[in-house]
Amino acid sequence: MGAETYHSLKKVITEKFGPSATGIGDEGGFAPPISQPHEALDLLVEAVKKAGYTGKIMFAMDPASSEFFREGLYDLGIKDKVSAKLTKDGLGDLYRGLIEKYPIVLLEDPFAEDDWESWAKFMEMGKGVEGIPEIVGDDLTVTNVERVKEAKEKGACNGLLLKINQIGTISEAIAAYVLPLPSLTLLITC
């Protein structure tokens, strides 16, 4: 399904922007000339539909928000928009709008790694709301026992990405893994 959708996406991008728009980015994904977050999701929805997998493929997003958090604002880097810099609440509103419109089931690092307040507020607003995705801490928790405990105490996320190579030792990764955190979903990667 993934391979077929990938090839379908290449066709969708070519039809919309021409063949030169199917250049590959640093991590192997397409890099079409888009400027709004919803444009990427629109392309994916169309590709999934053309591949025949609507309702069978859901989306996970990793905005890596620490990378664009500056001086208390989230700078989306959108050059054609005056409001490219969003407040913490503004970014939360952007995510909620995308979650309502697209089949997003997982959101990793939606806020900066030390923006605990935004993480907790976003989780609190999602309690009891149907369709809220898994909110996964990666940069937030960095497989660090103390940060995992803090995430749990503050209700900052309901998913944890455990990376052995991130913390540095297997014993530290195991310590993060065995914490009594029943409400956190654990995703393990190497």
pLDDT digits (tens, 9 = 90+) for 154-171: 999 988 888 877 877 788
Q: What range does the domain containing 53 cover?
A: 1-57
Q: In this predicted structure, what is the pLDDT of residue 113?
A: 96
> Bigger pLDDT: 54 or 180?
54
For residue 71, indicate whether it is catalytic. no
* CATH, residue 71: 3.20.20.120
Neighbours of 143 (CB within 10 A): 25
According to DSSP, the β-strands at 85-86 and 104-108 are: unpaired
Residue 15 has pLDDT above 80, yes or no: yes
* Segment 5-18 mean pLDDT: 96
The reply to whether 114 and 158 lie within a common domain is yes
Domain boundary pick from 9, 37, 57: 57
Q: In this predicted structure, what is the pLDDT of residue 130?
A: 72
The string of pLDDT tens digits covering residues 50-65 is: 999 999 999 999 999 9
- Residue in 46, 121, 163, 172 annotated catalytic: 163
Contact 78, 36 (CB under 8 A): yes
Residue 94 has pLDDT above 90, yes or no: yes
Domain boundary pick from 41, 57, 73: 57
| Portion of the chain with pLDDT greater than 70, in percent | 88
Contacts for 90 with CB less than 8 Å, ≥ 6 apart: 74, 83
- Residue in 27, 71, 79, 130 annotated catalytic: 27
The reply to whether 97 and 176 lie within a common domain is yes
Count each helix (H run) and each strand (E run) in the chain, helices first. 7, 8
The pTM assigned to this predicted structure is: 0.86
The reply to whether 106 and 14 lie within a common domain is no
Cα–Cα dist 121/156, whole Å? 8
Domain count, the chain: 2
For residue 163, indicate whether it is catalytic. yes
